[in-house]
Structure 1
Amino acid sequence: MTEPLTKVDSAVQGLENKITSPAKEKRRASSYAEGVMNIEELKTNRTPIEVAIETQRTGWKINASSSTVEEKEILSKHLTEPPVKRIDLVTSLGMKITARSMKGVTIKDALDAIHKANKKRSDDELEKPYLEGFEWAANNPPAYMTKEEDIEKYKDEEWTVLHIRLQSTPTVSSSSGGGKKKKNKNKDDA
C-alpha cells in the first residue's frame, strides 16, 4: 500500500487485456481460410502458380453468366494452386480484371469478374467471345527475351497475373436446348 494506483497504471492494465482479446482473434479467423495465400507473398517467395486445367473446357461465353457453364461442379474448384485471395486477370488488349475471394478465388469467381466487365457487350462486338483458358505468363517468358535480367524483370511483372485466352468457337459443345427443339418438332410433325 505504499504505492497508490494512478489513473495511468489502470489504463495501461486495461489496454493489455483488450489487445489480447480472444474475440478479436475469432473475427479474423472467420474471414481467413487455411491454406489461402496472398499473391504478393507467392511473388516474394517465388512460389510457382498452377492454373486449374478445368478452365480450358468450359465452353463459356464471356458476356454470359457463369451459370451457363455446363459442368457446374468445376465452378467451385480453386482457379490456382496454391489458392489465392486475389488475382488480376489480363485480356489480350491489356484490360485488367481482379477476381477476389477470402476463401480462395474459384473458377466461378474468375468467370463472374470477367462477366461483370463484359456483360453489356453484344455478341457482334466480341471477336473471340469464348474462354479458352488462363495462362500464368511468368512461367513462359517470350522467346525474344534472351537477357537473364529481362527475363527476371518480366517474371517479376507477370507473377501476380493470369492472362485470359479467348477463342472464336467454344471448346465444349453446348447441348442444352438444341436437342429438345428437334424432339419437339418431331412430336409436332407426328
Structure 2
Amino acid sequence: MSADTAPLTKVDSAIQGLSSSPPKEAVKGHRRASSSAAGVYNINDLEKEGTEIQIAKETQKLNWRINKSPNTLDEPEKSALKKMLTTPPVKKIDLHFPLGLEVTARNLKGVTIKDALDAIYKQFRKKADDELETPILAGFEWDKEECWTRFIVHCKKEGAPQPKKKGKKGQEGDEL
C-alpha cells in the first residue's frame, strides 16, 4: 500500500500545481498584444511622446474613386497600396471627413494605404457616382492642433485621368 500512496502524493502535488495555471491564462491574454508587429505604435502613445507623424505622399496621387474598391486601381498606383500610411506605423487611425463622417482604419501590423482606402470604401461602396459631390480622394491631412489621433480626408471633384475622358465626351457631343 505504501507504493500506492506514493503515486497519490504525486497526483496531489499535480493538483496543487494547478494553482499556477492562472498565470498561463494571463499569458494567453498577453498573446494578443504580441500579434502586432514590432515598431508599430499606438497613436495615443505617439501623442504622449509628441512624436511627429508623416503621411505617405502616394495617397495624393492615387486618383481613387471612394465608391470603387481599392483593388480596381491599376499600376503604378496599386503597388502603393502596400505601403504604410504613416511614418512611424500606427495600429489604427481615425479618418475624418469634413462633413462629419468618421471611419477607422486598423491593422495591428501597421495601417497601410490599402487599409485606409478599404475603411473609406466600406462607407461609400453603395453610393452611385452622381450621389457623391467629391468622389475622388485628394489625400489626407494631419492637423495636430485640432486632433492628434485622426487624419482629415480631402476629396475632389475630378481626378487627373477623368478630365481627358470628359474632354473626349465633350468633343463627341460637339460633333453630334
TM-score by length of 2: 0.75
What displacement does 1:29 show? 6.4
Pairwise mapping of residues 38-117 of structure 1 onto structure 2 (< 5 A)?
A: 38-70=42-74, 71-117=77-123
CA distance in 2, matches of 1:32, 1:68: 28
1:137 offset after TM fit, Å? 1.1
| Cα distance in 1 for residues equivalent to 2:33 and 2:123 | 31
Quote the residue 1:160 is aligned against. Answer: 149
Question: Percent of aligned pairs with the same residue?
Answer: 47
Paired residues for 1:132-151 under 5 Å: 132-138=138-144
What is the number of equivalent residue pairs in this alignment?
Answer: 151
What's the CA shift for 1:27? 3.8
Please report how far the alpha carbon of residue 18 of structure 1 lies from its aligned counterpart in structure 2 after TM superposition: 5.3
Look up the SS of the partner of 2:51 in the other structure: coil
Q: Give secondary structure in 2 for the equivalent of 1:87.
A: strand
Q: 2:92 is aligned with what amino acid? A: R
1:26 and 1:46 map into 2 onto residues whose CA distance is 27
In 2: Cα distance, 1:15 partner to 1:74 partner = 51
Work out whether 1:31 is the aligned partner of 2:35. Answer: yes
Q: How far did residue 15 of structure 1 move?
A: 3.6
Q: TM-score, normalised by structure 1?
A: 0.70
Partner of 2:159: 170
CA deviation after TM superposition for structure 1 residue 47, in Å:
1.1
Gaps of 5+ in 2: 1-11, 166-176
Query: How far apart in 1 are the matches of 2:20 and 2:88?
Result: 37
RMSD of equivalent CA atoms: 2.9
